[in-house]
Amino acid sequence: MALLIYFSSYTTNFKTFALLFGLGNGIIIGIIYILPIAHCFQYYPTKKTTVSVIIISACGIGTLIFSLLAIDRMNPSNLSLKDAGYNLYYGKEIALRFPEYLKLLSGYTLAFVCGGGFLLCEYPRKI
């Protein structure tokens, strides 16, 4: 997932970007999303609803945090939208920060996914 985000920061074509970032990450998120749910259902079989609520809420909170990070990294001066007739858009100075944000996001993704994976590992138990 981190590699797809990183590679998508170098694309110059929207179709390539949509395939890598949109479709590729969508498939990987679907695969990664089931892992904590399956593990938590295994360890808390009577609390499946509570576990599902916590996992889904954490995903939503993560989206909120990373959207705030994106605003802070790409538009630190809080520039307003420009009017081009019927379209509103941000200027070139903000658009040029997007690839750098994707590289930062890929590093965060790698760290958090690996960290979460280590939390799901079972360590040998002494009998």
Looking at the chain, the whole-number percentage of residues with pLDDT higher than 70 is 91
Amino acid at 126: K
6 inside domain: yes
pLDDT at res. 86: 64
127 inside domain: no
pLDDT at res. 84: 58
pLDDT at res. 102: 93
CA distance 71 to 31: 28
78 inside domain: yes
pLDDT at res. 18: 94
Encode pLDDT of 45-61 as tens digits: 999 999 999 988 988 89
Q: How many domains does the chain have?
A: 1
87 inside domain: yes
CA distance 122 to 42: 13
Encode pLDDT of 49-96 as tens digits: 999 999 889 888 988 998 898 888 888 888 887 765 667 777 788 888
97 inside domain: yes
More confident position, 33 or 122 = 33
For residue 30, is pLDDT > 70?
yes
32 inside domain: yes
Query: Which structural domain, as residue segments, surrounds residue 113?
Result: 2-120
Instruction: Return all residues near 17 (Cβ < 8 A) that are at least 6 apart.
Output: 8, 11
125 inside domain: no
For residue 24, is pLDDT > 60?
yes
